[in-house]
Amino acid sequence: MEREVLLTGIGGQGVQLAASTLGTAAAGIDLEVLLFGTYGAAMRGGSTASTVVIGQEPLTTPPDVDSAWAGIAMHHEHYAGVADRLRPGGIVVVDSSIFRGEVDARGCTLLDLPFSSLATEAGYPQAASMMAVGAFCSATRIVPLEALTSAAHAVLPSYRAHFADTNATALTQGWDLVAGPIVAAWPQEVLSGS
C-alpha cells in the first residue's frame, strides 16, 4: 500500500522542510519513501511544492504522481494543481488563516485549521507548515508523533539545528489540534502500532 502526499504553498513557508520531515519520519520507522520537491525561481513568494510517497513495501510510484491520496495546502496559490490530482477518500489539510476561496477537496475529507495564525500566536510564525504536518499525521496516523519529532532534529543542517526544538514543538502542537484519526492511512493493524 502506498500513500501519496502533495504539499504546496509559496516560498518561505517551509513546505520543503515539512515534506522532508514527513519523509524522514516515515523512513525512520522503516517505511519506504520517495520525496520530490519543486520550487519557482523566486525564493520568497514563488511557488513551492513537494510530493512525498510513503509505502509499506518497495515503491513503484514515481515521485511525480498523477493522483494522490492527500494534500496539504499552505496557500491558495498553486493549489489547483493539487486539487486536480486528489483521489476521493483521502484528506486535504488547509491553512485557513491564509487560504482564500473555496477549497475543492474532490471527495476528500477537509481539515482546515488556522496554522499560520496559531504558529504566530505561539511565537514561531515560520513553523506553520510543521504544525500542518503534525495535524495531518495525527489525522491519518501515517507516522507516529515520536517519529516526527525525531525527524525534526534529523533534517536540519548543523547551522540551523537551533530551530529543531521549535519545529518539534510545532509538530506536537499540530498533532494535538486533532483529536484522533479522521482518515486512517494504513489498515487498523498498522494503525494500532502508531
Express each pLDDT in 71-110 by its tens digit: 999 999 889 999 999 999 999 999 999 999 999 999 999 9
pLDDT for res 160: 86
Residue recorded with cell 526544538: 165
Answer whether residue 39 shows pLDDT above 50: yes
Higher pLDDT among residues 44 and 67, named by residue:
67
pLDDT for the residue numbered 70: 97
pLDDT band of residue 194 (cuts 50, 70, 90) is very low
Look up the pTM and report it. Answer: 0.92
Sheet with 32-39: strands ordered across:
32-39, 47-55, 2-10, 68-73, 86-95, 109-113
> Domain count of the chain?
1
Read off the CATH number of the domain in which 126 is found: 3.40.920.10
Q: How many helices (H) and strands (E) does the chain have?
A: 7, 6
**Cβ count near 120 (within 10 Å):** 15
pLDDT number for residue 41:
58
Place of cell 510513503: 54
Q: Which has the higher per-residue pLDDT, 137 or 188? A: 137
Q: Show the domain range for 104.
A: 2-191
The mean pLDDT value of the chain amounts to 91
Which residues have C-beta within 8 Å of that of residue 159, sequence separation ≥ 6? none
- Does the pLDDT at position 43 exceed 80? no
pLDDT bin (cut points 50, 70, 90) of residue 188 is low
Average pLDDT (4-29) is 93
* pLDDT score of 64: 77
Residue that wins the pLDDT comparison between 145 and 39: 145
Mean pLDDT of 135-142: 97
